[in-house]
Structure 1
């Protein structure tokens, strides 16, 4: 990711502490030995932690990792029906655009970027004064974030994360509501990560859609998709609000769009205080 603050941004992250190594689940990248990100704040370690779980190859090899490493596509998700969904590699690896800034401006307090990719939101949030941490299952994505001075871990959202239950804001942008192919489960997990009354910002499809897919990464340069298949989901605003309402973990909401991209902000419900006897 190219950023004007590279090497100088004082990203205010969270140290994970000794022994806080958590393995990623199936579908997520194994990690290399820990590394420390320059500019991640005093005493703050950012690491790509070693993990024993077996991992499907689509998260650790071409073409996804190559796209993140090079900073450009073309890259697609190809469904079993042959439809190719374009992925915005250049946007992910660039500086935040106007639509991204509408997200940054709504964030509150400490922010966890779920599926942080190359780290443009992590860096932007740090520069805006937020404590922030990015988690991603892809080692190349985390390495790129760390090189820019952003705190990031190779970690699945479905495994324990640092400061669990104490994040003020969580992000699921760039289509990451699709992680795992089960939006209801992902929304429930996000509610666990946030403080009561915390904010979840989700980027949704710009059209009314509610799909569960099996996809593979594809460069568009061959007749067959590359890599192993994995589950994914696509939701529009209505579908997301329906899932959030069914889950019962979410109260207030805001919807907006900018430059052809659509977003929803959900407020987690305040948990009742335990009764006293």
Structure 2
């Protein structure tokens, strides 16, 4: 958990690519949500963990305890959706998640194997429940995007982290 509190190498390039109203999916303690809010961008972090949402709000970022597959405020009006820190794995079904949010996401390096594994969050005070998490490589995203009516418009590596930008085929550039 401590690793997600501070700005990480590669965050700058990711944040610069955020355009307009941004939804930070699986925002955790809110480092990206807070950074975007400080830049004056309309942003909302959503996370299932009440403690993560509380950390975001305490740091000055707007956040709600929400499931991305449930009711999300502003549905259909978000310009950018962030799936950073491997959040492409939320729910263990990347295609389902991409159908839900077609925007900017972080993925594994090209050529790495995609896989699903159990994961849980751990801090100094508590250990969470196990949940499914998918790891997806940058090159696997193109196939997933095609199945979700999206196209890859950009991919890049920064500080040993890989990112991909998707655009819905229905969205005008």
Fold conserved (TM > 0.5)?
Answer: yes
Query: Runs of 4+ in structure 1 displaced over 2 angstroms?
Result: 214-219, 226-229
Matching of residue 260 in structure 1 with residue 157 in structure 2:
no
Establish whether residue 126 from structure 1 lines up as the match of residue 44 from structure 2.
Answer: no
RMSD: 1.9
Deviation by residue 1:152-183 (Cα, 9 ceiling, x = unmatched): 00001001111100000000000100000000
The question of 1:115 aligning with 2:16 is answered no
2:145–2:152: 8 Å Cα contact kept in structure 1? Answer: no
In the other structure, the counterpart of 2:140 is 239
Aligned to 1:215: 119
Does 1:136 find its partner at 2:37?
Answer: no
- Partners of 1:172 and 1:252 in 2: CA distance: 15
Alpha-carbon distance, 1:228 to partner: 3.9
Question: How far apart, in 2, do the equivalents of 1:163 and 1:247 lie?
Answer: 21
Quote the Cα distance in structure 1 between the aligned partners of 2:95 and 2:159: 27
- SS at 2:10 equivalent: helix
Task: Give unpaired runs (5+ residues) of structure 2.
Answer: none
Deviation at 1:252, TM superposition (A): 4.5
Q: How many residues align?
A: 168
Q: Could you tell me which of 100, 103, 106 is aligned with 2:17?
A: 106
The answer (yes or no) to whether the contact 2:142–2:152 under 8 Å persists in 1 is no
Q: CA separation in 1, counterparts of 2:59 and 2:122? A: 27
Go from structure 1 to structure 2 and tell me whether the alpha carbon gap of 1:154 and 1:227 turns closer, same or farther (over 3 Å shift).
closer
Q: Is 1:205 paired with 2:105?
A: no
Matches of 1:218 and 1:147 in 2, distance apart?
Answer: 20
From 59, 79, 100, give the equivalent of 1:148.
59
**Structure 1 stretches of 5 or more lacking a match?**
1-67, 73-89, 192-199, 220-225, 272-277
Whole-Å Cα distance in 1 between the matches of residues 130 and 34 of structure 2?
31
C-alpha distance in structure 1 between counterparts of 2:65 and 2:144, whole Å: 28
Largest Rg, 1 or 2: 1
